[in-house]
Amino acid sequence: MSVVIPVAHDIVCPWCYVGHAQARRLEQEFGVSFDWIGYELYPEPMPFDDGTPPPPPPPANKPKTPSRFQLMLAAENMELPKVSRPSPIRSHDALAALEFAKAHGDINPLLDAVYHARWAEGQDIGQRQVVLNLAEACGLDRAALNEALEDRRYASLIIPFDDEAHEKGVWNVPTFWIGEERYAEQPYRVLAKAMREHLGA
């Protein structure tokens, strides 16, 4: 049985798009598997806009500098697909559908499908019908999933931001638990080093 690494994630987060790719690399390199735990960044009724005013524009003669996320993409040799995506959106149904998939055998086909739909195709995974279509294409029972979503059957398994997430030690997604440590928004090199130490490789 492979070592299971918990990871906190939300499909709508661009850092988790990178984290999903990192997890697939870790699986190939170390033979581990992952327990994907939904941490919902925008649970209802949290407003999308927290009221923070935008930063002032930089001086016109100041050279551009990369953001933390741009540096992460460069470190991972990745780019975000250039598609239009609805934003912001709520991810509860998508995260609940992943719990449904987990309970019915294998989360991975739907996990890959929702990340691809959101980031490569620009689909609105905040819409229930989109989630149901993706799940059905992965061989899951559409009617049973819709009933589970209506009943909010898996709501207790999804951790909402901010307070509940912070209580569990998750301040950023993705967060990987490797051994006794948490690794949040880290480059693959750091995760691989932690994995080698954890596995004694």
pLDDT in tens, the chain (201 residues): 689 999 999 999 999 999 999 999 999 999 999 999 999 999 998 888 777 888 888 899 999 999 999 999 999 999 999 999 999 999 999 999 999 999 999 999 999 999 999 999 999 999 999 999 999 999 999 999 999 999 999 999 999 999 999 999 999 999 999 999 999 999 999 999 999 999 996
Pairwise CA distance, residues 39 & 29, whole Å: 26
- How many CA within 13 A on the CB side of residue 43? 15
CA distances from 70 to 14, 17, 61, 73 (A): 11, 13, 21, 5
Distinct helix (H) and strand (E) counts, the chain: 8, 5
Virtual CA dihedral for 90, 91, 94, 98, nearest 10 degrees?
-160
Bond before 54 cis per omega within 30 degrees: no
Alpha carbon 168 to chain centroid, angstroms: 17
CA distances from 145 to 42, 113, 127 (A): 22, 16, 14
